[in-house]
Chain A
Amino acid sequence: MSSPTSTPGRRKRNRDDIPATPKSTRRRGQDSSNGDLPAMPTSPGTDIASPAVHDTSLFSSPRRSVLPSEVDMSSPLMYGTPSSRVEARQRPDLGSIRKAPQVDLHSEPPSADGAVASEQALGQKLVIWGTDVNVGTCKEKFQRFLQRFIDPASNEDENAGLDLNEPLYMQKLEEISVVGEPVLNVNCSHVQSFDADLYRQLISYPQEVIPTFDMAVNELFFERFPDSILEHQIQVRPYNALKTRNMRSLNPEDIDQMITISGMVIRTSQLIPEMQEAFFQCQVCAFFTRVEVDRGRIAEPAVCRNCNTIHSLALIHNRSAFSDKQMIKVQESPDDMPAGQTPHTTIVYAHNDLVDKVQPGDRINITGIYRAVPMRENPRQSNVKSVYKTHIDVIHFRKTDEKRLHGLDEDSDQKLFTEERVQILKELASKPDVYDRLSSALAPSIYEHEDIKKGILLQLFGGTRKDFSQTGRGNFRAEVNILLCGDPGTSKSQLLQYVFNLVPRGQYTSGKGSSAVGLTAYVMKDPETKQLVLQTGALVLSDNGICCIDEFDKMSDSTRSVLHEVMEQQTLSIAKAGIICQLNARTSVLAAANPVESQWNPKKTTIENIQLPHTLLSRFDLIFLMLDPQDEAYDRRLAHHLVALYYQSEEQIEEEFLDMAVLKDYIAYARTYINPRLNEEASQALIEAYVDMRKIGSGRGMVSAYPRQLESLIRLAEAHAKVRFSDKVETIDVEEAKRLHREALKQSATDPRTGFVDISILTTGMSATARKRKEEVARALKKMIQSKGKTPAMKYQQLFDDLRGQSEAAITKDMFEEALRALADEDYLTVTGKTVRLL
């Protein structure tokens, strides 16, 4: 208990106010019939010394609180070893410190129901009332756990820097002695793997077991580090209870148990000071007394014990003890909601140092105790409604998106797959035609475009993430970017919509409607706190996902320029309103663009058709054209496909194609667990492929491949290996990557004048032939001017006409101007208005 010398104004962390907690039907063994409840008789013996002003028959919880004077220091639930010099801080998150009586099961039980706890009571004498927890055994077990538990396979970032072959939690205790932060986070799955029974007790009776854990830790700690000084005693914070993961699955059986749920913070309240202990002073004799707040109510002493004056005691506010409390509202995360329903919200109370740990918008995992509290009809009366209010008292917060700001987040995203599901997925992966199967399962309503679907499939899987930051290169982009361009009405948008619906972290924006800030991030003033907060835009939100951008061509230039950084460096730099930061935006971009002239002009290059800067285009790994092929066989297949769409029943469709859910899981599994690496042959094959690509061009005096293309090839090959669930990138992967890359190039980088594939269309915005042509015109013009002899100035129009007359090929005004500009760059002439002067 707290020392009685608490100074005025100091907030003492004290017990929480929970009037009483209803008992749910606990599913224990096979009892399911209604009346069969754990024994909850009225509390025996110990009772409050102060006159019971309030209605004691309201709730008779066995966890009756006691006044400080009556604290039985030998009770197992009192904190700390008697010798410890460190103040024990109380835990409002667990409810009050309650002195639960221990029951000796072999002597007279206080009521006939005592047998409920007798399941495994043989050999153990005392258990805490209403539970099957024996304090001594529990403590011993937990100490054994702390001393022995080793998790060699640990990959949690919190354990970074710890020796995995030494007992994990002993190392953490050492850390506490150094750092001085008296909190020990314990992963419940560790407890479970070490001692399943202890885990069960922890989940079922957190209120009793966690203080026991605290005690065990402190004994162990002060034994080992007798000289260390802590602010207060160590508190154990368990997390990752496996009991419940989803807010929707909370039900009355979870009441008073430890649960872990995930969700998103939507509102946080201001700090609520909660009175824990009232300080009364007698106006006559200055005698003071303390009264503990009991379920939101203070039993005001009517008579001064010292001078026997009636009604002389007054409450002194600034000598009373308060604790911090905050109400937080958490909403179900959108991922685990059934379609067509609204998200649920839950109220969460944070206490003491957990206050202000989370902000609205954070995605968090909460471990805590689920409570149900009856509502009072009127605060002054003890009548209650039959409807409960529920909330969670937090023990531990874990932000799931916190680590996005710095580095890896593999494990927070981890989706749990059941054994059977993994089996199904692996079976699917072992099929030789899995690649084709998956690609045809992608957007079945969209006809053909097999290669495009394959490209998108590879994009969904992505390459392997590599870290070269040691060598100064930073991260290599693992994400595949794809641009679809083509005639309007070729279901580009539909494809984008499909992808957006398929991936968990997808964002869909339209180029027309999005501004640069909407895509990146903006700084906003929070209306409540008046604080500047950073709001993230679509690109940052789709970190580790796919950002689908429709009508890419309609995007303003300034918006598009943001994409340069995102698409290669995968980061986003912001310098706004005093906030300078770099956010990760490891997103794949799937963009769709319409040709400028509304119809694709096959006589023009891609760049000319969509009018996008080539610097941006070269950042796309694959650029596909979605054109309307005009041949009869295609038409027939298309018609068949469409008509089928309209008359096939649901079942038929299901038979034909993979379920969308399977596809989702397949992708999620591969993305998390498969990290393929290049093997020797594959590297050779890649080198060859690259050299070949360079060779093609060099024959005609142009460069047809750049290192960026090589990187694309590697990514695609890796993605293809992921599709096969293979840990090695093999030659077949490289073959497919090459084929797909070539297909995409053939479609988008074909020089319409020559019919050859020319990568420079995408990298420099102009095909090599066009460049050659430009040079020729310039040369001809120069020759013509030289032949004219010494004329310092010429008429612009006349020169143009002359050149046209002289040249065999048709020369447009654009070409002429380009030639003039080229000559001006050579400092051969200048153009001023309508005259051309030689220099």
Chain B
Amino acid sequence: MRMWFVCRFCCPAAQSNSNPEWEAKVLEYFKGQLKEKESHSWVPSLNDVPLHYLKPNSLVKFRCLVQDMFDPEFYMGVYETVDPSTKFKPRSGSVLRFKFTNTVTAERQTFYCVPIPGESPWAKEISFLSAARVVPSTSYVPSRQKRSYEEDDDMDTQPQKQREPHTEPHGNGDSKRQETEAPSSQTTAPSDCSSHLDLNFPLPGERGPACLVKVYEGLDSFKLNDTLEIYGILSVNPVLTVLGEEKDPSLLLLNPTESMETPEEQRAHDPPASLVPRLHMLYARPLQHNNPLLPSAPTEDQSAFVSSFLVEMASVRAELLAYLTHVLLGDGLAAEYLLLHLISNVYTRRDVLPLGKFTLNLSGCPLNSYTERLYQIVQQLVPCSYRLSMSLHTMNSMRLVPKKDYVANRLVSGALQLARNTSLFLDETQLEQGQLDSSGVRNITALGNLISWQKVDYDFSYHQMEFPCNINVLVTSEGRSLLPSDCQVPLQPQVTPPNMEEYLTTIHMAQFTSQINKFRVYLSLARTLDYSISDEVTKAVEDDFVDMRKDDPQSVTAEDLHRMLVVARLLSLSLGQTTLSRDGWMRAKHIDMLRRSRTEQQKSLNGNEP
């Protein structure tokens, strides 16, 4: 409750409500406080701290994806209670008797937010534990059970990381501080018991709290699928929960206003507050990325960080390339392409054409869980990822495209509702022969649209609505993929380890955490760099293209030029260069030529087969 807060330490003037600008002042104050360097880490995170350890009505933060936007609500912004001396302002539907004389109706909107889908375990570990490290204190922090993960042995997870939720710079700490001495055997996920309630996570098997965020201002600046870090007041008031089963149907006749909502709708919009807490937004920060190793805000220290890292860039790249080469069984070219793919990003759209996307099709992958291991390695490198095993069953049964459920009046999520820059790993090696049913065909079409146009058409039953997205799609397949792709690289293993599992695990183990962290920073950073092409190089590229066409017009088409320009861009960025040089262009041409000759070779090989 906002007012409660305000009364405590901001402006006593609010008591008399004489100052109408007090709201703005409060926001100003919080924004100012949160700007301070380490203040972010004082605020407990809803992602991490179990709900029952958080004090209701305290300031919390929540890193999330806007999964659905509900209809706007009107509420009483200001009203008088019977006793004029205790004028106060509930934001969360407190029960009051009041005289209906002096109210102001205001508008707000509710967003249904879920934790960022597919967030890699390492990103979670680091962002929440590093936050805890900042301010040592005596108060309790629940020690987390480490997520079972084979590769993260090196993760530094000391259990006694502690924090203090310093939300009150003006003292009076005990009302704010989290509960102390809680049993440490608890696991983290507060939604363990929520299996009966569909929390509508985009990806199956996700855990974590979902949250109903009440937004009071700047409604138009938020979009569906935005990733945000929200600072707000937590509310778990059980009064909010209106469970359908408590309703006596006979009452509906008498009070038809209550019957506008179906039980499904009520369940979706007013889930129990203990499972889906309410968060009253004070301030939200859009996240460019969710890599905890990088400074998140575009501030001065970020640019300092970038420039310091740029020096290292080339060497990190070489190490990463070597690492990926090992992982891809000694295939250097495929490693090079995988690296480029990992830093690709849709940086702009020209009318319908997304620029900068680079979907990679890695064909000729060995069977038997190689792809699975490969995904685990990718997952270790990128902050957000999801592996979609394209087996016939999943394609026919899984819901990829979000669909509006008009009965419950909510957007039922699908696996393609992902945050920007998520790595989507499509495992086509799992596909067997058989028949796709109509939903399977729709799913494949949706994947095709995603790859070619970087958009997902959400199903609104009476019409479809197009939502642009920015997802890196990596397709692993045996032969050429049935999905379109920007670039296909047949894998040519140089080594054939007798035991694949062991081989990959050894490679992974050989990397130190610091090393891996460097890779992670590198990949996230390279993506955000600016890029330009000078006039001189433009000319050279044009000449080159004309020359190539002269020799054999069939060999190089406009599409090839598109791809080579993307490759050149990514190649330059991967080296930390922000302009295209002649060399860069030649290199891009060279590796593209190597790749093409390899594809052709593969084709002729296949052609010779009976």
Chain A residues with CB under 8 Å of chain B are 17, 19-20, 22-25, 33-35, 37, 40-41, 57-61, 250-252, 255, 264, 266-267, 272, 274-275, 296-298, 325, 327, 329, 331, 334, 337-347, 360-361, 372-373, 375-377, 379-380, 382-391, 443-445, 447, 489-491, 493-494, 497-498, 501, 510, 513, 628, 630, 632, 635-636, 638-640, 642-647, 650, 653, 660
Contacts and interface: CB of A to CB of B under 8 A. Distances in A.
A646 B355 contact: yes
B182 interface: no
Nearest to B106: A252
Given A343-B460, A344-B72, A635-B546, A646 B260 contact: no
B542 A25 contact: no
B546 A632 contact: yes
B558 A640 contact: no
B467 interface: yes
Nearest to A345: B71
Contact of B533 (A380, A489, A647): A647
A391 B105 contact: no
Interface in B79-115: 79, 90, 93-97, 99-107
Nearest to A333: B463
Given A329-B406, A638-B558, 11 more contacts: A20-B100, A33-B20, A58-B97, A296-B257, A329-B409, A339-B468, A373-B257, A376-B257, A380-B251, A498-B352, A643-B533
B550 interface: yes
Contacts of B220: 338
A122 B462 CA distance: 54
Given A329-B406, A340-B223, A497-B453, A639 B562 contact: no
Contact of A387 (B75, B259, B561): B75
Contact of B538 (A340, A445, A643): A643
Given A40-B101, A343-B460, A385 B254 contact: no
A491 B558 contact: yes
B541 A643 contact: yes
Contacts of A331: 460, 462
Interface string B327-366: 0000000000000000000001011110100000000000
- Tell which of A250, A334, A340 has the most Cβ of chain B within 10 Å: A340
Contacts of B68: 342
Given A341-B69, A387-B93, A501-B351, A642 B558 contact: yes
Given A342-B411, A388-B74, A647-B538, A24 B100 contact: no
Interface string B244-288: 000010010111111110000000000000000000000000000
A274 B559 CA distance: 65
Nearest to B457: A508
Interface string B526-549: 000001110000100110011001
B345 to A, nearest CB: 13
Contact of A645 (B93, B355, B411, B460): B355
Contact of B257 (A275, A375, A444): A375
A251 B107 contact: yes
A671 B218 CA distance: 36
Contacts of A361: 462
B74 A640 contact: no
B462 A266 contact: yes
A807 B351 CA distance: 58
B374 interface: no
B553 interface: yes
Nearest to A266: B406
B100 A40 contact: yes
Interface in B177-236: 220, 223-225
Given A632-B550, A639-B561, A379 B107 contact: no
B350 A25 contact: no
Contacts of B258: 375-376, 379
Given A643-B538, A643-B542, A653-B350, A379 B100 contact: no
Given A638-B558, A642-B561, A334 B465 contact: yes
Contacts of A252: 74, 105-107
Interface of B: 20, 68-69, 71-79, 90, 93-97, 99-107, 220, 223-225, 239, 248, 251, 253-260, 348, 350-353, 355, 404, 406-407, 409, 411, 441, 445, 452-453, 460-463, 465, 467-468, 531-533, 538, 541-542, 545-546, 549-550, 553, 557-559, 561-562, 565-566, 569
Of the listed residues A444, A491, A642, the one surrounded by the most CB atoms of chain B closer than 10 A to its CB is A642
Contacts of B72: 250, 344
Contact of A389 (B76, B97, B257, B546): B257
A376 B546 contact: no
Contacts of B352: 443, 445, 494, 497-498, 501
A244 to B, nearest CB: 14
Nearest to A496: B352
18 contacts: A23-B105, A255-B74, A267-B407, A275-B253, A334-B463, A339-B223, A340-B467, A342-B69, A346-B71, A377-B239, A379-B255, A386-B96, A388-B75, A388-B105, A491-B558, A639-B561, A643-B541, A653-B350
Contacts of B407: 267
A390 B254 contact: no
A58 B97 CA distance: 7
A642 B239 CA distance: 60
A264 B460 CA distance: 12
Nearest to A637: B542
B74 A272 contact: no
Contacts of A345: 71, 409
Contact of B103 (A23, A375, A494): A23
Contacts of B445: 510, 513
Contact of B542 (A35, A343, A501, A636): A636
Contact of A327 (B248, B260, B351): B260
A297 B77 CA distance: 28
For the complex of A and B, the 9 pairs showing the least CB-CB separation, nearest first, are: A340-B223, A639-B545, A647-B533, A252-B105, A639-B542, A445-B350, A388-B74, A630-B553, A385-B93
A271 to B, nearest CB: 12
Contacts of B545: 635-636, 638-639
A660 B467 CA distance: 18
Contacts of A380: 251
Given A340-B224, A342-B224, A639 B546 contact: yes
Contacts of B257: 17, 19, 296, 373, 375-376, 389
Contact of B254 (A22, A297, A340, A372): A297
A22 B76 contact: yes
Contact of A642 (B107, B251, B468, B562): B562
B467 A296 contact: no
A23 B76 CA distance: 10
Nearest to B223: A340
A647 B532 contact: yes
Contacts of B460: 331, 334, 343
A361 B461 CA distance: 9
A594 B133 CA distance: 61
Contacts of A632: 546, 549-550
Nearest to A645: B350
Contacts of A630: 549, 553
A628 B102 CA distance: 72
Contacts of A33: 20
Contacts of A389: 257, 260
Contact of A376 (B73, B255, B259, B260): B255
B557 A489 contact: yes
B355 A387 contact: no
Given A340-B223, A387-B73, A34 B20 contact: yes
A632 B550 CA distance: 7
Contacts of A491: 558
A83 B248 CA distance: 47
Nearest to A60: B100
Given A40-B101, A636-B546, A489 B96 contact: no
Contact of A628 (B77, B452, B461, B553): B553
